[in-house]
């Protein structure tokens, strides 16, 4: 049969309070998948897997309704909100038992879903990773563009190999996901980890669209946290920076001490309440920054050694579908 030779594709889409968006994005994905199946590009047991990341609105109900109308749709529901990366990991981990190819895409379809057939074609040409890369971010705000550029620049300087302007729209083959599952950090920074895995990869370019409905789930504080997580989980450069700064400060203090000594021997009286206060406050502040940078790493080690689950799945209709539809 054709289905045994064609690759099985699962589209994984994380959803957090996407009630306003799902009714629009689900039919678009459904249409693309239906065409791919009809054109014998992918196997008939290919699926769309929405991962409900503990939404408080009707997202899960919508996913269940979609599945009832078309078994192409399936869902995974978290017990609470764990974050987008956890949702992506859960989707990939669940999907790769049955799927040969997994494509991850945001539920708001800001990333161009019409690229999906081209991604599948690239996989058939032998690429294990196909990165969706934005070549036009004009729909993002000036602030988002500037901070994103700053982030890529910083990561580059830290020696972390990221694909610029790539977020979480990508295709991975089964063997890449198998390798990814061997990375056990509790908060995996996927954009950094995946390029590190190796495997043949290629890029496809597209224009990022504005969000059609609902709101961004990344307010400024969450965005900064995400960027900081990326930096701290990939590099100890901040600790080194503190070491260098501390060395410079100590060197300056030593020079000052020598100067004071010389002035003293010459019989000069050195006054300067303000300079003492300024150095005191400067050193106090610097020490606090240094301690908190080290504290961030200690905190991360603490979180890692606990080995708590990355996420807890409350309901999984994806695996259940496979048990029913796949003959033993």
- Cβ atoms within 10 Å, residue 161: 10
- Residue 6 backbone class (left: φ over 0; alpha: ψ -120 to 50; beta: rest): beta
Q: How far is the CB of 104 from Mg ion (least distance, A)?
A: 13
- Minimum Å gap between C-beta 216 and ligand UDP is 3
Comparing CB distances to Mg ion, the nearer of 221 and 271 is 221
Binding pattern for the stretch 13-32 against ligand UDP, x by CB under 6 A and - elsewhere: -xxx-x--------------
Interface residue with ligand UDP, options 48, 76, 87, 119 (CB under 6 A): 87
Q: Is residue 132 involved in binding ligand UDP (CB under 6 A)?
A: no
Among residues 83, 91, 113, 132, the one that binds ligand UDP under rule CB under 6 A:
83
Q: Which is nearer to ligand UDP, 152 or 199 (CB)?
A: 152
- Of the candidates 39, 224, 23, the residue with the CA atom closest to the CA atom of residue 120: 39
The answer to whether 52 and 318 are in contact (CB under 8 A) is no
Strands 201-207 and 47-52: unpaired
In the complex, residue closest to ligand UDP by CB: 216
Interface with ligand UDP (CB under 6 A), residue total: 16
Site for Mg ion in 165-224 (CB under 5 A): none
State the SS3 of 235-283.
CCHHHHHHHHHHHHHHHHHHHHHHHHHHHHHCCCCCCCHHHHHHHHHHH
Q: How far apart are CA 256 and CA 197, in angstroms?
A: 50
Kindly state the smallest distance separating residue 150's Cβ from Mg ion, in Å. Answer: 20
The β-bridge partners of 172 are 102, 129
Interface with Mg ion by CB under 5 A: which range of 79-87, 109-117, 197-205, 234-242? 109-117
Residues 45-64, mask of contacts with ligand UDP (x by CB under 6 A): --------x-----------
Choices 101-109, 156-164, 261-269, 288-296; region in contact with ligand UDP by CB under 6 A: 101-109
Q: 249 with 243: CB under 8 angstroms?
A: no
Q: Name the minimum Å distance from CB 13 to ligand UDP.
A: 6
Kindly state the smallest distance separating residue 213's Cβ from Mg ion, in Å: 11
Applying CB under 5 A, among 110, 165, 233, 321 the residue interacting with Mg ion is 110
Give whichever of 219 and 327 is closer to ligand UDP, judged by the CB atom.
219
Tokens of 250: 């100590």
Between 98 and 191, name the residue whose CB sits nearer to Mg ion.
Answer: 191
Strand partners, 15: 52
Q: Does 108 bind Mg ion (CB under 5 A)?
A: yes
186 vs 125: CA distance, rounded Å: 33
Which segments of the chain does DSSP mark as H helices, in order?
2-5, 22-38, 59-69, 84-95, 116-124, 142-157, 174-180, 190-196, 220-234, 237-265, 273-306, 317-325
Rounded to a whole number of angstroms, the minimum distance from the CB of residue 216 to Mg ion is 6
- Helices 220-234 and 142-157 meet at what angle, rounded to 10? 10
- Contact flag: residue 189 with ligand UDP (CB under 6 A): no
Residues making contact with ligand UDP (CB under 6 A): 14-16, 18, 53, 81, 83-84, 87, 106-108, 110, 216-218
């Amino acid at each position: 049969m054709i289905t045994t030779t064609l690759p099985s594709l699962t589209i994984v889409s994380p959803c957090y309070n996407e009630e306003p968006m799902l009714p629009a994005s689900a039919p678009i994905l459904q249409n693309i998948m239906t065409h791919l199946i009809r054109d014998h590009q992918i196997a008939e047991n290919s699926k769309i897997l929405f991962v409900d990341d503990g939404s408080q609105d009707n997202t899960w109900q919508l996913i269940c309704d979609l599945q009832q109308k078309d078994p192409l749709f399936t869902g995974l529901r978290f017990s609470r909100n764990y974050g987008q990366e956890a949702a992506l990991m859960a989707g990939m981990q669940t999907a790769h038992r049955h799927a040969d190819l997994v494509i991850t895409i945001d539920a708001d379809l800001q990333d161009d879903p019409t690229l999906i057939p081209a991604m599948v074609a690239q996989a058939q040409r032998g690429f294990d990773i196909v990165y969706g890369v934005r070549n036009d971010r004009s729909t993002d705000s000036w602030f988002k563009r500037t901070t994103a550029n700053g982030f890529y620049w910083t990561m580059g300087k830290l020696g972390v190999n990221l694909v610029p302007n790539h977020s979480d729209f990508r295709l991975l083959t089964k063997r890449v996901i198998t390798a990814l599952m061997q990375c056990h950090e509790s908060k995996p920074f996927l954009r950094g980890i995946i390029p590190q895995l190796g495997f043949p990869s290629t890029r496809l370019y597209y224009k990022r669209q504005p969000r059609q409905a609902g709101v961004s789930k990344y307010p400024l504080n969450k965005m900064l946290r995400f960027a900081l997580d990326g930096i701290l989980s990939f590099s100890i450069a901040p600790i080194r920076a503190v070491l260098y700064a501390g060395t410079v400060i100590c060197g300056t203090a030593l020079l000052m001490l020598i100067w004071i000594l010389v002035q003293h021997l010459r019989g000069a009286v050195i006054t300067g309440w303000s300079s003492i206060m300024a150095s005191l406050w400067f050193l106090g502040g610097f020490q606090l920054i240094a301690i908190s940078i080290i504290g961030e790493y200690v905190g991360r080690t603490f979180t890692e050694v606990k080995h708590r689950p990355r996420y807890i799945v409350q309901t999984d209709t994806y695996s259940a579908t496979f048990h029913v539809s796949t003959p033993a």
